[in-house]
Amino acid sequence: MTTTRFAPSPTGYIHVGNLRTALFNHLIARKSGGTFILRIDDTDPERSKEEYVDAIKQDLEWLGLTWDRVERQSERLDRYAEAADKLRGMGRFYEAFETPVELDLKRKKQLNMGKPPVYDRAALALSEADKDALRAERGDGVWRFKLNQERIEWNDGILGDISIDAASVSDPVLIRADGQVLYTLASVVDDTDMGVTHVVRGSDHVTNTATQIQMIRALGGTVPAFAHHSLLTGPQGESLSKRLGTLALRDLREQGVEPEALLSLMARLGSSQPVELRASLDEIAEGFDLDQFGSAPTKFDVQDLFPLTARKLHGLDYAVMKDELAALGVPDDIAEAFWGVARANITTRKDIAQWWTLVSQGAEPMVADEDKDFVAEAMALLPEGPLPADAWSTWTAAVKSATGRKGKGLFMPLRKAITGQERGPEMADLLPLMQSIPARKLAKS
């Protein structure tokens, strides 16, 4: 039975980078009929905020990435304390007292000597009396996990065979001096207790994984299958880490990005499969295959979301849009025809309102100096009152014979006069719907 989890820290809004992790784990569980856990990594009481927990849930729900259950690390502190005791009992956990400044100095010295900046384990040499003295002087120390200095190997679902020499990694701090349990330990205990079988996360976690594999083994758990996806970069390959704050899912939603557009892109970006708009998560899950993803950084351009969003909207039937159009104030009797006119001319849902304003109120005419007389003559030929379905062809035929103009020289000035812009829906479809045409006042009397 497959069990996966998405484990955000509620210290901010989730962004496109987090979404990849959430989506991959969700799809793996969904494809195999397994369990997908939303795990809130909230062991940091200062930075974790309830509003972010709510926001994370809203964002995932918006995308349809629903979870089978929620777990919270803050409710599992007893389990972490038990695991810490177990590691202590096995001699795999030790207290260290170096200050951050001292550690920094050690690192600099090592780097100067061309050595990797790995913690030197000086604390292992402390006697009980030394520790008592240090504790009296500096307060409690941090607790480090004692790595077995051997190679740690796993077959990564994306990166392939990985082998990391534990001697090149510092013994990880699992409990801070103030007693706060850190994610590295909490995550291992949770993954084991919750029977997590597959962990997909960003490649910034590769070293964590190495140390966590040793911790899982020490605690007697089963090592899950690990896969590390590449990190996203900007379109030019630039780091996104600073900009991710502006790529929060809620900002994209605010900009009108459709969930299917975002999911379709994210499920394929960085893989050898083409990006195609899919109508549902089931369809996305069907073609999803972790093996198709590569290790190279993945370029992400927010602009790619808009053509996909437009494609989704262009495909929506009137029945789906009915309530939304009614809410905009579009009367029932013309709503279907209006949607037919508007849908091919929108990028996001926000654009619908702009076409409704045009249809209901008309636009400030756009008339070039050289077209003034022509437009005046044409407007005089436009029939009064509500216009019939074939109004555009009859009117333009009449204007053509009266003025001798044809082609673009005939149609474009009329479009600009009526819609106030150069581009937009088919005039033949639009004109009969227009409830008000301010350009009429330009008519030559």
Interface with ligand GLU by CB under 6 A: which residues?
7-9, 41, 183, 187, 201, 205
Smallest distance from the beta carbon of 169 to ligand GLU, in angstroms?
Answer: 17
Backbone angles phi, psi at 229, to 5 degrees: -85, 155
Closer to ligand GLU by CB, 181 or 346: give it: 181
Smallest distance from the beta carbon of 7 to ligand GLU, in angstroms?
Answer: 4
Closer to ligand GLU by CB, 8 or 221: give it: 8
Smallest distance from the beta carbon of 21 to ligand GLU, in angstroms?
Answer: 7
Smallest distance from the beta carbon of 173 to ligand GLU, in angstroms?
Answer: 16
Smallest distance from the beta carbon of 202 to ligand GLU, in angstroms?
Answer: 7
Smallest distance from the beta carbon of 187 to ligand GLU, in angstroms?
Answer: 5
Which residues, in sequence order, are CB contacts of 418 under 8 Å at separation 6+?
Answer: 362, 363, 365, 427, 430, 431, 434, 437, 439
Smallest distance from the beta carbon of 258 to ligand GLU, in angstroms?
Answer: 26
Closer to ligand GLU by CB, 7 or 341: give it: 7
Residue closest to 329 by CA, chosen among 420, 439, 435, 424: 435
Closer to ligand GLU by CB, 56 or 96: give it: 56
Of all residues in this chain, which one has the CB nearest to ligand GLU in the complex? 41
Smallest distance from the beta carbon of 200 to ligand GLU, in angstroms?
Answer: 8
Smallest distance from the beta carbon of 15 to ligand GLU, in angstroms?
Answer: 11
**Pairing outcome for strands 298-299 and 160-165:** unpaired
CB 72 within 8 Å of CB 38: no
CB 28 within 8 Å of CB 224: no
Closer to ligand GLU by CB, 52 or 119: give it: 52
**Pairing outcome for strands 232-233 and 298-299:** parallel
Closer to ligand GLU by CB, 200 or 418: give it: 200
Smallest distance from the beta carbon of 28 to ligand GLU, in angstroms?
Answer: 13
To which H or E segment does residue 36 belong? strand 35-40
CB 210 within 8 Å of CB 164: yes
Q: How far is CA 223 from CA 156, 182, 196, 254, in A?
A: 12, 19, 9, 40
SS3 38: strand
Closer to ligand GLU by CB, 80 or 339: give it: 80
Closer to ligand GLU by CB, 41 or 258: give it: 41
Closer to ligand GLU by CB, 215 or 431: give it: 215
Closer to ligand GLU by CB, 244 or 378: give it: 244
